[in-house]
Structure 1
């Protein structure tokens, strides 16, 4: 198998992300809706996904997200070590996702077990183990789709994201079961771990930099009036320690990138978001949310830019505000060392902290 060419310069990554005709997203034989699609097909399915994440829908979820975040923070002990990734990030990610999708809270433990096995399989690099983990998740999703379909009454209101997805149409027809499962897999299999890692990145930054912790604590007290500044700070935390490492592409013809990287047709490519977000030609040294926001690639770029960006910010903002509103301080736990995820993952695997 040909090793992929990793694009690391900001200009190269932007150019490739914005050029789906020459940098195709069809990199797998498996169905990936809509991430593994191009052109009109991608647009049709992308429209379906975007209808589930409109600004109005995200705004309607904010109270639920805030309530869920306060529940999770309130249940954590004070003045003794906790793991900010597992005990805070994972619990919030799973519970908030279940409530958004209309899945039962009783599913939380199974989803967390799946997340642990998914991490282990990714580290092991064992294709059969990865396939088993994927099959397990597909079974979880299929079970929920079946339950929602059986609970749907003629003319009934679509009151959660799963019901709304079942009512969707593309090219004038209902979505197939495989398409529904693929979309839900994309929303959950990727997003659960991603949100937990985002929480870890933010909490680490706040524990490491007391001045910024105090600034964010002040903004948390002013929420929702300080949303723009708070989101810029969260985005800068993620830019500096990007939990979304890379996305695959394949060239459809010979290409030369803006920095001069020459690629043959059918070359596998990795868009390295982490490296691009630290490109010294674009970003000045240090932590500067306002100056760096315009060029931040945490949620991608181009036609495949993350459609859940607004929802992700709403989730991360809710848990950050709840954490800082519910505590007087966040410190690293003494004598306990945080650990990083090993490739292909990024971010913190464990982050022992003490909530005051």
Structure 2
């Protein structure tokens, strides 16, 4: 198979994302639950995933996320250079996810080391190295699943891993491979993504003090006794966070394969069996849809940061809750976040998006 057809227009990417029949997600021979599934199989497993991230569950997680975020921010020095990705984003992502999943705190260092190796392997483009990294992470996940199965014989923890172990599909328990695949998707897929989201947002706020102050005000208002405008403030805050991510989308692309000949809305012809790349970065900057202004309200309805259609990100609400927690804790504990003088931020190299290093100074 040759190079995939890259879809870059907003209309084309949206149409492909919405049409899971024509644009199949079965792009790998490896098990990917539920991302690499189609039709009824995807629907059944997606319902399982969705049950772990309901609005009620996300709301119950918010105090824990805020606590973790405050702890991470409290460890950051003031008046000197810190890396908003590694010192803040990655630490928070790992620590919060371990709490959500009910994984042992002692595994945090191992997961941080794995993230660094995963980035290096992705940049190197070496299939064997990528396979070794994936296998290493599967071992981490499998060890935590085994620990939870052992705990469940004595007591039942209230965490996402325990809930997943109780799930069934078509009247049977999930296989070990299916459970590991779901957890790999939540962890391997989301840890780096959240850290890069934090970097993107902090970069935008550091470079634009007016928006930084607006977000600081919104975050602090959420903690005031008078919560009559809480929903309105949360909606505005989420729109600002989403606009930051739209302009500098850390979620670069997703693959599909065409199941039949198709012509996209903009006229791109695709044959049966062609690989297709949904370029979220390009689609989220399509000048026919978005102005060149930072405009959260105007751009919210067309923002594709979390995808669209049957495979839209199931963790969207959780991601916003995590971002509100960590950005809110950072802004609440500071009066100003500034770009580090004399230090240039470093972007991740393809195929990874976002910032690899983001030096800032907290005042």
Same fold, TM exceeding 0.5?
Answer: yes
**Residue in structure 2 matched with residue 184 of structure 1 by the alignment:** 183
2:322 matches 1:323: no
Aligned positions of 1:249-288 closer than 5 A: 249-288=256-295
What secondary structure sits across from 2:79 in the alignment?
coil
Residue 105 (structure 1) shift: 1.1
Distance 2:141 2:156 in 1: 21
Distance 1:174 1:42 in 2: 16
**Residue in structure 2 matched with residue 77 of structure 1 by the alignment:** 77
TM-score by length of 1: 0.99
What is the number of residues matched between the two proteins?
355
Distance 2:210 2:339 in 1: 15
**Residue in structure 2 matched with residue 349 of structure 1 by the alignment:** 356
**Residue in structure 1 matched with residue 103 of structure 2 by the alignment:** 103
**Residue in structure 2 matched with residue 163 of structure 1 by the alignment:** 162
Residue 158 (structure 1) shift: 4.7
Give unpaired runs (5+ residues) of structure 2: 224-229
- CA offset digits 1:256-315 (Å, max 9, x no partner): 000000000000000011100001111111100001000100000000000000000000
Aligned positions of 1:19-30 closer than 5 A: 19-30=19-30
**Residue in structure 2 matched with residue 134 of structure 1 by the alignment:** 134
Q: Which runs of 4+ in 1 moved over 4 A?
A: none
**Residue in structure 2 matched with residue 215 of structure 1 by the alignment:** 214
Is contact 2:346–2:358 with CA below 8 Å preserved after alignment?
yes
How big is the alpha-carbon RMSD for the aligned residues of Structure 1 and Structure 2?
0.8
Which moves more between the two structures, 192-201 or 215-224?
215-224
Distance 2:165 2:26 in 1: 25
- CA offset digits 1:225-271 (Å, max 9, x no partner): 22111100000000000000000000000000000000000000000
Aligned positions of 1:287-326 closer than 5 A: 287-326=294-333
Distance 2:342 2:295 in 1: 31
2:134 matches 1:122: no
Distance 1:213 1:255 in 2: 45
Is contact 2:102–2:157 with CA below 8 Å preserved after alignment?
no
What secondary structure sits across from 1:82 in the alignment?
strand
- CA offset digits 1:128-157 (Å, max 9, x no partner): 100000000000000000000011037x54
TM-score by length of 2: 0.97
2:53 matches 1:53: yes
Residue 119 (structure 1) shift: 0.2
Distance 1:276 1:78 in 2: 38
**Residue in structure 2 matched with residue 90 of structure 1 by the alignment:** 90
Is contact 2:26–2:38 with CA below 8 Å preserved after alignment?
yes
Is contact 2:339–2:361 with CA below 8 Å preserved after alignment?
yes
Distance 2:17 2:99 in 1: 32
Give unpaired runs (5+ residues) of structure 1: none
Is contact 2:92–2:326 with CA below 8 Å preserved after alignment?
yes
Which moves more between the two structures, 159-168 or 223-232?
223-232
Distance 1:287 1:223 in 2: 23
